[in-house]
Amino acid sequence: MSNNDVSTGEPAKVFTGIRDVPIYAGESSAGNRLPGGPYRSAELIAIGLIMGPALWWFRTHEGGGFTVLAGAAAAAVVVTIILRMVLPTRRPSLLARASFAVSSIFPTHACAARPHARSSHGAQR
């Protein structure tokens, strides 16, 4: 074993000789990010469900032009904007949940349907 080899107890070796080249994996590097991101899973699923069939149609219909792709891209942008406005970015806090629970157990509004008091003659007041 040389000085640069690191023993892991496994048959594989870890080489640590290269130090001058930064290597990024996943979304940590700027080159791997999609425009307008980061995207949540609901947004990625919606984009995939819109763009997937559009790309399939574009590949199978050669004379179709780019109209379908442009329409699908526009639809994906609109759906992503709507999902960002509608879906919450994070879960409610514990204080908000406690407030919801208390207001559902002890409602602040009075009961609107209340029987009217009747006089001795049976007519309503």
Best mean pLDDT range from 1-5, 107-111, 120-124: 107-111
pLDDT over threshold 90, residue 71: yes
Better-predicted residue by pLDDT, 93 or 80: 80
Higher pLDDT among residues 76 and 101, named by residue: 76
Give 31's pLDDT tier (boundaries 50, 70, 90). Answer: low
pTM recorded for the entire structure: 0.48
Rounded mean pLDDT of 58-73?
86
Q: At 102, which helix (H) or strand (E)?
A: helix 94-105
Max intra-chain CA distance, the chain = 109
**DSSP H or E segment with residue 55:** helix 41-60
- Structure token digits, residue 93: 């806090």
Mean pLDDT of all residues in the chain?
75
The arithmetic mean of pLDDT across residues 28-50, rounded, is: 77
With H, G, I as helix, E, B as strand and everything else as coil, classify residue 30.
helix
Q: Provide the b/e sequence for 90-107 (b: ≥16 CB within 10 Å).
A: eeeeeeeeeeeeeeeeee
